[in-house]
Amino acid sequence: MHRITRIAFASAVTLSAGTGVAIADEASKPYENHKLVEVMVTLPSQLSSLDSIGESLHCRPSVGWQTYAVDPGNLDELDALGLQYQVVLDNVQAIVDAETQQRMAARAQAGADFFSDYRTIGEINDYLDQIVADFPTLASKFEVGQSLEGRTVYGLKIAKLDLIDPDGDEASRPGFVINGCQHAREWISPASVMYLADQLVNGYGSDSQITEYLDELVFYIVPVVNPDGYNYTFPTNQGGAGQRLWRKNRRNNGNGTFGVDLNRNWSTAWGQPGSSSSPSSETYRGTGPFSEPESTNLSNFMLSLPNVKAHLDIHSFSQLILGPWAYSEDFCPPREEELRLAQSLQEDAMDSVYGTNYEAGLGCDALLYVASGTAPDWSFDELDALSWTYELRDTGQFGFTLPPDQIVPTGQETVAGVLSLADFLLTPLIIEADTLPALADADTPVPVGISVTAVNNEQFATGSATVSYRTSPGDDFTTLGLGGIGGTGDLSTDLPGQPCGTQIELFFSAQTTSGQTVTLPEDGQAAPFVIDITNLTTILEDNFDGDLGWTVGAPDDDATSGIWERVNPNGTSAQPGDALFGPICYVTGQHPGGGDGANDIDNGKTTLFSPVLDLSAAGDGAVQIRYWRWYSNSTGASPNADVFQIDISDDAGATWVNVETVGPDGPETSGGWFQHSFDPATLVDLTDSVQMRFVASDEGAGSLVEAAVDGFVVRSTGCEDAPCAADTTGDGSVDLADLNLVLGNFGQTTPDGDTNGDGQVDLADLNTVLGAFGAACP
């Protein structure tokens, strides 16, 4: 993190040269000659001493490299602490001036566009009024209360207001609270919250998703919780004090220090580790819970609302989605499964906009150090509202001084996350397909199955889960129940086997006890899933429980640790704790215990090679290769700097073609098992010398990188000239001899009677023979 910060501020200073735009009052330069200093903190107790010396530029100061803005007169005190440090920039004011010049240039170029620049508190309040004037049936303005210095904190209620009960009773609609700017210097927070408000009102009637949400939900949007601190950060010619990096409110603490961290002032876990009792600290929690009018007013406002179901507290920076509990890493919160489902949807939505990598986790996942007395912990604890902190762009390149050209893209990512959570709030059940093959073997029963999770205080109606299928587009759907006795247990079934070349269309459904029906896919029979029926012949199926010829090591491999090995993995925050298909899989170095970075990939790359495969008899387009992979590169000192590369060769490794590259950022780089399948004929010739390789690397400094592979399957597919697998004797017909061969070897590991090549003679083989009984095989 400290190296990233150093590059960032150097870039910011470079931007100031030659812009020709006047900065704010030249006489007001509060950071003139302040030093940007990186300090190695080795004990938590050292943080309080550093707070009295300089201004922390990290979201949650902790052990490790920390960045401070230090008055040159305090360098002797820093020396006296005996800590390792380095001055990386001689004048912090240069950063502030560069940002101001960028902002003024952006205003001049973009004219009146509200989102061309970061706006003052007055401009924000004026824009709230403009939204209400332009959209009176969608938005109304409300007062949250008065700040310490007497500024009114305003918000917008956004919904299809004429659909709400005329008496103002909103209890029948889920309420969704989004607030910004508890911390004054995090300018992208109120900018993104305002962008959200703008998109909601402008999207009604033209965006079907937004229209549905405003018809069904009530949004309560408070852009600036801390108007005094926010105003204090602006240049003097915009009504502020030029204190760009100020974090807290403007409480006079009576000892020469100012400010309380509003996001340590809420009552849940107030005073616990993760906040400070020192008034000079950036995380000073105040004299008691809700000692500050800003936190008190917002909490009272939220308590006055009839039906708050979700709350987002918008911050910057780090690109994180943080669920409860912020105050503890030791235990996970109630409703854990529901929280994880919802935050996964938000993470995927935000990542999908521009490929920016947001990482989601609960407090027990330890993505950041603990923080006590936070707003989302309070709303989850007090209101039972699904609650998260968003830490928006970036990961440290610009930090709090994110350029104004990042307002709109960051706002778009924020909107995507908010809308995904809005959708979740209107969903009583989450249905996920656990078993849904893209291809299925001809004349063989097809297993399908789902899992159902009730959310938003709904209950799953036992016995209501079904699958509906048809084998011809014009036919009616046939419905089968899922589950054991009473519809409980495993929600799965087998669909009847079908002839080669046909398709099965299907969808799932389930109900709540209140009678609401949810389908998967969402549009049900109008857009069903499709399973293609073909003849599947297994060429290789390897779950790595035995040695089937995989090899490790390329001539140019240079990793010094984290070398591929076939083991029962020991889990870490970056490495899987379990294989998918048995106890064994390939991972990049067995974890020996200790820190998560022990035996991860370091200082280069490591390569895993498949056996050489003979695909020459399959024919073009008649092979499917499928594997499950795990990859994590999103933690450590240089996150999202490395890639996991998967390649294929048709000449036993003489030349390679890329199948996919995972990373350096984007989805699927934070652990988790993901399946990938492809048709090799689209990339290489199907020769007798096909081979695959999996290359994982750590080329960056200090990254924590792990990879894993499991469930590798190669199958030939197709209906034309396909071998008649049911003809186990090879005599040209499926008859009693084939049935006797299967029955005679039933339960054995032998190729005799093994119709699908999985190594076992079992029920699948018996069904294949029975399904084709009496057929002639060319």
Query: What positions carry a catalytic annotation?
Result: 391
Number of Cβ within 10 Å of residue 42's Cβ equals 11
Buried b (16+ CB within 10 A) or exposed e, 543-575: bbeeeeebeeeeeeeebebbbbebbebeebbbb
Computed on alpha carbons and rounded to an integer, the radius of gyration of the chain in Å comes to 30
Give the separation between CA 469 and CA 477, rounded to whole angstroms. Answer: 5
Is there a contact between 398 and 12 (Cβ–Cβ < 8 Å)? yes
C-alpha distance from residue 98 to each of 126, 132, 395 (Å) = 27, 35, 20
3-state class (DSSP) for residue 632: strand
Half-sphere exposure of 434 (CA within 13 A, CB side): 13
Positive or negative, the CA dihedral 264, 265, 269, 275 is positive
Q: Which positions ≥6 away from 723 have C-beta within 8 Å?
A: 535, 537, 777
Contacts of 438 (CB under 8 A, 6+ apart): 531, 532, 677
- Amino acid identity at 323: G
Please list, in sequence order, all residues whose beta carbon lies within 8 angstroms of the beta carbon of residue 306, skipping any fewer than 6 positions away. 169, 170, 171, 175
Contact assessment for residue 696 and residue 705, using Cβ atoms and an 8 Å cutoff? yes
Residues whose CB falls within 8 Å of the CB of residue 450, separated by 6 or more in sequence, listed in order: 431, 432, 433, 434, 435, 465, 467, 482, 491, 492, 508, 510, 520
Give me the residue label for tokens 């007169």.
Answer: 73
Q: Any residues with CB less than 8 A from the CB of 599 and at least 6 apart, and which?
A: 561, 562, 589, 590, 591, 592
Q: Whole-angstrom Cα distance, residue 536 to residue 555?
A: 36
Tokens of 420: 């995904």
Query: Does residue 392 contact residue 346 with C-beta atoms inside 8 Å?
Result: no
Q: How would you classify the pairing of strands 551-552 and 54-56?
A: unpaired
- Longest alpha-carbon distance in the chain: 100
Q: What single string gives the DSSP state of each residue in 319-345?
A: -EEE-S-TT-SSSPPTTHHHHHHHHHH
Contact 24, 105 (CB under 8 A): no
Amino acid making up residue 90: D
Round to whole Å and give the CA distance between 480 and 492.
10
Q: Residue 234 is encoded by which pair of tokens?
A: 């602006």
User: CA-CA distance, 560 to 30, in Å (whole number)?
Assistant: 48
